[in-house]
């Protein structure tokens, strides 16, 4: 796929071209001795420690990631995970260094470079397009609520990530990680394999060390699946824990933003920054209090005494995944937890209900978003017309049947919609019944099978796992992290909790991560080695 013009311009001039006038670009003598190997895969806590000691600055860290993006994303393997760079990134980093020098530290994300999915508004020079050519003129005048929180926390907004166009809600035959604006994102482990989606670029960028942490969004699997297939950690929060204001919507019932990190600790640190109440986005599920620091729940003994329900219907689908899951369960038991076989996937067996809900809510939500945006196109009807008029560029592989079917739906007062919503809301009750009947602290299962080959003609080839699905539909939280490798491809395990149960899930996931140490760095292979 053709790369975007922003990268072509930066590549031609070098990354120094985006340094504001008067900003010192040379590293100090200590930083000049630092090699790429010193910075590779560094955790957020390590970055903060080295910035405190003067061994590292936010500016040099930002330069490192910009160089990685140029080398790995633009050239080299051409991952295609970053859709746009922030021309103000180095200036923000320099400002954060100045604050640090003057004794002001905003928190755990102070000076940390973050990439953001390109369906999240940023009130700067970057566009918000959901990967669509139809929204190339959409430059937001206000930050999304979570972007405002990131800036307040001192994060360096490095750029935006590619995604499955419209967060995978345009066609039933889409290729995850492809957008008409950004082209096809590639899996950093095996380049001809899918990165999954829709938060493809965010998962890939974290895996390939193009940023410290990243933000994705999920309606059903769009954080969990990329985390699994790219060998990183993804947290899908309880719907309502993180504001959706300023995020291009699919479903007000299921949408949420969430963090990616290479470790549970990194993802937990980012979650603590973006979580919090927003009066403009009333939560679907209510709670009385929320933690301010999710890293407080990083307990290496977090599995001791826990009861974990494993979904038994996901066994015997793939012998390799069965072996990885059995190893994971043995490690969980070795840490003092009890495994209980359950069947929780059946709670989401509501034929057609989720599809109907999403179509109704997408039409309502996208019309609201576009009508208030700076985009020239102001409605779903206008998007459909744009794509039809520019089909060779916007729809070279698949069409927009989900747009068409959504446009044909009525409003949210429709009986069909209200009936679907009632069915969807029943999933939470079904999960609670399972938690209470078996006295469980979490549910778990394989997140995905091995990644499939990228296929723009036929689309994705789902492997029949998706243990995170009931959490997505119910609005409950899930956390996905590496379970192991299968023929050079990562596979993840997902833990599901009750509403606002992120602290318990972080304890469990962190303990499992520390016991298993499953993450393997990507090797950027062209294809699977068949021997």
Distance CA 515, CA 495 (A): 16
Q: Residue 37: CB partners within 8 Å, gap ≥ 6?
A: none
- Token readout for 531 is 């021997």
Selecting among 50, 60, 117, 467, the annotated active-site residue is 117
Q: Which residues of 200-229 are buried (b: 16+ CB within 10 A; e: fewer)?
A: bbbbbbbbbbbbbbbbbbbbbbbbbbbbbb
> Known catalytic residue: 117?
yes
> Known catalytic residue: 414?
no
Tokens 């109704």 locate to 360
As to burial, measured by CB atoms within 10 angstroms (0-12 exposed, 13-18 middle, 19+ buried), residue 67 is: middle
Selecting among 198, 228, 406, 516, the annotated active-site residue is 198
Q: How many beta carbons lie within 10 A of that of residue 150, not counting itself? A: 24
> Known catalytic residue: 222?
yes
- The DSSP bridge pattern shows strands 307-311 and 442-446 to be parallel
Selecting among 175, 222, 406, 494, the annotated active-site residue is 222
Q: Are 55 and 27 in contact (CB under 8 A)?
A: no
Q: How many beta carbons lie within 10 A of that of residue 522, not counting itself? A: 22
CA dihedral (99, 104, 107, 108) in degrees, to 10, reads 60
Question: 161 phi and psi, to 5 degrees?
Answer: -105, 150
Active site residues: 117, 198, 222
């Amino acid at each position: 796929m053709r790369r975007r013009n922003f990268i072509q311009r930066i590549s031609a001039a070098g990354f120094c071209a985006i340094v504001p006038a008067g900003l010192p670009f040379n590293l100090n003598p200590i930083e000049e001795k630092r090699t790429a190997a010193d910075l590779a895969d560094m955790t957020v806590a390590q970055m903060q420690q080295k910035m405190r000691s003067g061994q590292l600055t936010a500016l040099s860290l930002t330069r490192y990631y910009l160089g990685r993006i140029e080398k790995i994303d633009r050239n080299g393997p051409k991952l295609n995970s970053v859709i746009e760079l922030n021309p103000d990134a180095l200036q923000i980093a320099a400002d954060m260094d100045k604050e640090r020098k003057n004794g002001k530290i905003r928190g755990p994300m102070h000076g940390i470079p973050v990439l953001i999915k390109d369906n999240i508004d940023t009130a700067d020079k970057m566009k918000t397009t959901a990967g669509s050519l139809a929204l190339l003129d959409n430059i937001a005048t206000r930050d999304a609520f979570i972007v405002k929180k990131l800036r307040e926390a001192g994060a360096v907004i490095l750029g935006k990530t590619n995604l499955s166009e419209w967060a995978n809600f345009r066609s039933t035959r889409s290729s995850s990680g492809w957008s008409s604006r950004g082209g096809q994102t590639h899996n950093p482990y095996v380049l001809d394999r899918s990165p999954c989606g829709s938060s493809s670029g965010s998962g890939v960028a974290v895996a390939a060390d193009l940023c410290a942490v990243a933000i994705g969004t999920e309606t059903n699997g769009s954080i969990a699946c990329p985390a699994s297939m790219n060998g990183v950690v993804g947290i899908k929060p309880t719907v309502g824990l993180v504001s959706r204001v300023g995020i291009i919507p699919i479903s007000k019932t299921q949408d949420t933003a969430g963090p990616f990190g290479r470790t549970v600790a990194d993802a937990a640190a980012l979650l603590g920054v973006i979580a919090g109440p927003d009066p403009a986005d009333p939560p679907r599920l209510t709670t009385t209090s929320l933690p301010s620091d999710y890293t407080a729940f990083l307990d290496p003994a977090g599995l001791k005494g826990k009861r974990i329900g494993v979904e038994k219907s996901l066994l015997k689908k793939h012998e390799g995944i069965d072996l990885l899951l059995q190893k994971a369960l043995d490690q969980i038991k070795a840490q003092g937890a009890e495994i209980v076989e359950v069947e929780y996937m059946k709670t989401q067996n509501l034929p057609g209900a989720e599809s109907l809900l999403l179509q109704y809510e997408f039409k309502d939500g996208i019309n609201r978003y576009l009508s208030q945006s700076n985009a020239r196109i102001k409605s779903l009807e206008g998007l459909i017309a744009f794509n039809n008029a520019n089909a060779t560029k916007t729809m070279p592989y698949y069409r927009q049947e989900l747009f068409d079917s959504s446009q044909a739906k009525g409003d949210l007062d429709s009986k069909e919609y209200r009936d679907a919503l009632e069915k969807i809301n029943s999933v939470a009750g079904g999960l609670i019944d399972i938690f209470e009947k078996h006295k469980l602290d979490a549910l778990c299962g394989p997140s995905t099978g091995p990644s499939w080959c990228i296929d723009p003609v036929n689309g994705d080839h789902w492997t029949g796992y998706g243990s995170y699905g009931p959490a997505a539909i119910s609005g409950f939280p899930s956390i996905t992290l590496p379970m192991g490798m299968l023929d050079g491809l990562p596979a993840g395990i997902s833990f599901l909790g009750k509403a606002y149960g992120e602290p318990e899930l972080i304890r469990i996931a962190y303990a499992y991560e520390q016991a298993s140490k499953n993450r393997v760095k990507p090797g950027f292979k062209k294809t699977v080695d068949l021997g």
